[in-house]
A and B are shown apart, each in its own frame.
Chain A
């Protein structure tokens, strides 16, 4: 045992290593990314770790190992489960002989972008156990335990965390890595288990799946995963799960400081919503007359508490989301528990100041995020606008769909270039649908390189087959950037790991048979705008590949593309360099433009925008 200062995501990685994990695959997604990122930085021969093309692929890669009897894991953010689910339900039906763990991180409060999707819903949908650690140490312990549970029931298990735990850092006790097993026999040929050939097979598998969840219930009960502490009979109780558990002690402290006694409150701290811990829930229901259910996001557990109360025929007041005590939106802190317990006890805390319109944060200057200094996407966004102007159209008349990743920053000022943000790869089919809907002007779709490989290719193939009239701009910066610079299939060969190979996006697009295909450098605004304008007039599918490496990555290698010279004598303070580019390396203060050379990478976009030659590239 050693104590290490690590994050929740790293704790899961170490837990998997201590369980002897053989294969780990995933797709980057905040707040889950560091789990695999940390493994890729370690020297762990014998364990295969990869960033896969998408979450479905990652799940399948992991599942393959589990079919052979090994311990394997896949990792993703909440929206990744939507992608993986097609195969996930099928493998859940089949089961596997090894321990297969699906690590997913939900994001109550949306600090990482996208939705407040509660992935426990997928556990319900697929009758899979879902383990929910409530702190860093439990993230480690339960990662290890998840493999044991999966092996015991011979089926996949969810390990579900939330942003606040996965991103937190603290002391965690970890053990030595266990080397993965190597001596498993070949994959068992078993049509009844591993295919879906006919209704009988499928229904038998469904039956087996339900039995596995029951078996998980027994296994969990024997391992005393949950803690139940019953106090005064006919009193009040609190049921919490996951991160909710970690706020109970603090809430009790706050209540005691306010002279509200907490000694008599029964507490059930749960670490799994599924299989429903019915015995423990029922013990609380039989013991208490009022029960508070504290779980972030959806009332999955609470609904079960209602059902069990009905089945038991007990009259218990249940407080939670159904009665409006809690909201389904946002994350919890100790205040949520304090307020819920006060309501449970029919008491009140001394009034705290309310948030009103005069709240201090209302006076805070808005700080919209934007692309970095030197970001190649800046050139693409400006050129889209220039192409629209070239064709004598208005920005408000030309729909440009957006996609997931850094490319979506085109929605922000000063560009305000993109109209939609749906899901990985949605930009192209959505644009196609807009064309069929009778959109009068040309429709454009924008997508990044990693997103294109993830789920964009299928959309482009569809548009090509149906000869849709649209322009696709693939913004290829060579990295999966938004999540912190991961490798994707298009990343340059120099940066691929071991025997991994680069797939050249240009050849991929050519291989699909795109006839109107332009490869341009987005740092060159004129060429880019011309290519976009030509494509918008082309009948059929046009593809523009805007290629230039992510500025964060090239900065790390100290690449300066040129030296930008600012001639203040020529500068007329028109501020167009700021208004058009929004480049964070250009500032305006004391009536003077200035350049922050620490940020500037010499991309030269500002020099193409300046009409007075005040900004020029120094030769």
Chain B
């Protein structure tokens, strides 16, 4: 293992599969006997509520909460919720944004503002982070059906961030296949597509 300590801060909205991504990464760590602390905060996690996960790899005795300015990687699955994670990213850290907009009712009705991609991008840049942005518009189809976006996202993350230095594509393929043997083919397809998706690093 080339990285000793690696902290990941994940944010998103209930129903997006935020916990699934964290589950997969945790089970990879488990198989590889890598120390990990996986701390989900779902509060009253109805669909549409804020969800965050803190994943701390590489230390056997570490507290669950990641301090500010210290996460190696932020994974955000919702544009607006990204803003809650910015302060946890360390200078020079990577910020993977799946640019998906899950608008709260007030925004939908035009009664409240919603941040633009540019605003979010600038906040991350100002905090010293490097944005890796995956669009949610061209989600590939597998046998005519939309693939699971959280698995696709994982492919995108492995393609574009330093996470690949501790977790390989094969690790993820194995974990996903063991978890859902019946849909293994479509999930492996989703990872592959994610690995070859277009990740923007500049606006």
Minimum distance in angstroms from A140 CB to a CB of chain B: 15
Minimum distance in angstroms from A327 CB to a CB of chain B: 15
How would residues 121 to 164 of chain B score, 1 for a CB under 8 Å from any chain A CB and 0 otherwise? 00100010000000000000000000000000000000000000
B69 at the interface (CB under 8 A from A): yes
How would residues 24 to 57 of chain B score, 1 for a CB under 8 Å from any chain A CB and 0 otherwise? 0011001001011111110110111110000000
Query: Do A364 and B83 have beta carbons less than 8 Å apart?
Result: yes
B203 at the interface (CB under 8 A from A): no
How many interface contacts (CB-CB < 8 Å) are there between A and B?
144
A335 at the interface (CB under 8 A from B): yes
Query: Do B83 and A250 have beta carbons less than 8 Å apart?
Result: no
Query: Do A167 and B40 have beta carbons less than 8 Å apart?
Result: yes
Question: Given contacts A135-B61, A168-B64, A352-B69, are A111 and B109 in contact (CB under 8 A)?
Answer: no
Nearest residue (CB) in B for A585 is B47
The prevalent SS among residues of A at the interface is: loop
User: When the two chains form the complex, which single residue of A171, A250, A361 contacts B36, counting CB atoms closer than 8 Å?
Assistant: A171
Query: Do B109 and A575 have beta carbons less than 8 Å apart?
Result: yes
Q: Given the complex, which residues of B lie within 8 Å of A165, measured CB to CB?
A: 64
Query: Do A369 and B44 have beta carbons less than 8 Å apart?
Result: yes
User: When the two chains form the complex, which single residue of A113, A243, A355, A373 contacts B87, counting CB atoms closer than 8 Å?
Assistant: A355
Q: Given the complex, which residues of A lie within 8 Å of B35, measured CB to CB?
A: 170-171
A579 at the interface (CB under 8 A from B): yes
A84–B44 CA distance with the chains assembled, in angstroms: 25
User: When the two chains form the complex, which single residue of A5, A164, A170, A373 contacts B65, counting CB atoms closer than 8 Å?
Assistant: A164
Q: Given the complex, which residues of A lie within 8 Å of B80, measured CB to CB?
A: 364-365, 367
User: When the two chains form the complex, which single residue of B59, B83, B103, B105 contacts A363, counting CB atoms closer than 8 Å?
Assistant: B83
Query: Do A372 and B109 have beta carbons less than 8 Å apart?
Result: no
Minimum distance in angstroms from A19 CB to a CB of chain B: 24
Query: Do B112 and A333 have beta carbons less than 8 Å apart?
Result: no
A167–B51 CA distance with the chains assembled, in angstroms: 13
Question: Given contacts A5-B26, A333-B67, A365-B115, are A168 and B37 in contact (CB under 8 A)?
Answer: yes
Nearest residue (CB) in A for B50 is A367
Query: Do A250 and B119 have beta carbons less than 8 Å apart?
Result: no
Classify chain A's interface size.
35 or more
10 cross-chain pairs, A with B, having the tightest CB-CB distances, nearest first = A246-B63, A333-B65, A164-B64, A335-B67, A360-B86, A360-B83, A364-B83, A360-B123, A247-B63, A169-B38
Most buried by B among A165, A332, A365, A589: A365
Question: Given contacts A5-B27, A587-B108, are A361 and B44 in contact (CB under 8 A)?
Answer: no
With A369-B44, A589-B103 given, name 16 new contacts (CB 8 A): A165-B64, A170-B35, A352-B69, A361-B87, A363-B123, A364-B84, A365-B107, A365-B114, A367-B81, A369-B43, A369-B48, A370-B46, A371-B46, A578-B108, A587-B108, A588-B108
Q: Which residues of chain A from 370 to 393 have any CB-CB distance to chain B below 8 Å in the complex?
A: 370-373
A371–B44 CA distance with the chains assembled, in angstroms: 10
A540–B66 CA distance with the chains assembled, in angstroms: 55
Query: Do B68 and A352 have beta carbons less than 8 Å apart?
Result: yes
Q: Which residues of chain A from 308 to 349 have any CB-CB distance to chain B below 8 Å in the complex?
A: 331-335, 338
A368 at the interface (CB under 8 A from B): yes
Binding site for A on B (CB under 8 A): 13, 26-27, 30, 33, 35-41, 43-44, 46-50, 59, 61-70, 80-81, 83-84, 86-87, 103-109, 112-115, 119, 123, 127
A331–B80 CA distance with the chains assembled, in angstroms: 25
Minimum distance in angstroms from B73 CB to a CB of chain A: 17
Q: Given the complex, which residues of B lie within 8 Å of A352, measured CB to CB?
A: 68-69
Nearest residue (CB) in A for B14 is A369
Query: Do B105 and A582 have beta carbons less than 8 Å apart?
Result: yes
Nearest residue (CB) in A for B88 is A333
Q: Which residues of chain A from 161 to 207 have any CB-CB distance to chain B below 8 Å in the complex?
A: 164-165, 167-171
Binding site for B on A (CB under 8 A): 5, 111-113, 135-136, 164-165, 167-171, 243, 246-247, 249-250, 254, 331-335, 338, 352-353, 355, 359-361, 363-373, 409, 413-414, 482, 575, 578-579, 582, 584, 587-589, 599
Interchain residue pairs with CB less than 8 A apart (11): A169-B26, A250-B63, A254-B67, A333-B63, A333-B67, A360-B84, A367-B49, A367-B81, A369-B44, A578-B105, A599-B47
Q: Given the complex, which residues of A lie within 8 Å of B108, measured CB to CB?
A: 578, 587-589
Query: Do B81 and A332 have beta carbons less than 8 Å apart?
Result: no
Most buried by B among A111, A135, A364, A371: A364
Q: Given the complex, which residues of A lie within 8 Å of B64, measured CB to CB?
A: 164-165, 167-168, 243, 246
Q: Given the complex, which residues of B lie within 8 Å of A360, measured CB to CB?
A: 83-84, 86-87, 123, 127
Question: Given contacts A360-B86, A364-B84, A365-B114, are A334 and B63 in contact (CB under 8 A)?
Answer: yes
A250–B82 CA distance with the chains assembled, in angstroms: 26
Query: Do A365 and B112 have beta carbons less than 8 Å apart?
Result: yes
Minimum distance in angstroms from A575 CB to a CB of chain B: 6
Minimum distance in angstroms from B98 CB to a CB of chain A: 16
A575–B114 CA distance with the chains assembled, in angstroms: 19
Minimum distance in angstroms from B121 CB to a CB of chain A: 11
Q: Given the complex, which residues of A lie within 8 Å of B83, measured CB to CB?
A: 360-361, 363-364
A355–B68 CA distance with the chains assembled, in angstroms: 10
A578–B62 CA distance with the chains assembled, in angstroms: 45
Query: Do A367 and B59 have beta carbons less than 8 Å apart?
Result: no
Minimum distance in angstroms from A322 CB to a CB of chain B: 24
Q: Given the complex, which residues of B lie within 8 Å of A587, measured CB to CB?
A: 108
A135–B67 CA distance with the chains assembled, in angstroms: 17
Q: Given the complex, which residues of A lie within 8 Å of B41, measured CB to CB?
A: 111, 167
Most buried by A among B13, B62, B112: B62
Q: Given the complex, which residues of A lie within 8 Å of B66, measured CB to CB?
A: 333
Nearest residue (CB) in A for B86 is A360
A579–B63 CA distance with the chains assembled, in angstroms: 43
Query: Do A359 and B87 have beta carbons less than 8 Å apart?
Result: yes
Q: Given the complex, which residues of B lie within 8 Å of A589, measured CB to CB?
A: 103, 108
Query: Do B69 and A249 have beta carbons less than 8 Å apart?
Result: no
Q: Given the complex, which residues of A lie within 8 Å of B123, measured CB to CB?
A: 360, 363
Minimum distance in angstroms from B22 CB to a CB of chain A: 9
Query: Do A113 and B48 have beta carbons less than 8 Å apart?
Result: no
Question: Given contacts A169-B26, A364-B83, are A353 and B69 in contact (CB under 8 A)?
Answer: yes
User: When the two chains form the complex, which single residue of A169, A243, A599 contacts B63, counting CB atoms closer than 8 Å?
Assistant: A243
Query: Do B62 and A249 have beta carbons less than 8 Å apart?
Result: yes
Query: Do A588 and B26 have beta carbons less than 8 Å apart?
Result: no
Q: Given the complex, which residues of A lie within 8 Å of B63, measured CB to CB?
A: 164, 243, 246-247, 250, 332-334
Q: Given the complex, which residues of B lie within 8 Å of A334, measured CB to CB?
A: 63, 65, 67, 70
Most buried by B among A136, A333, A368: A333
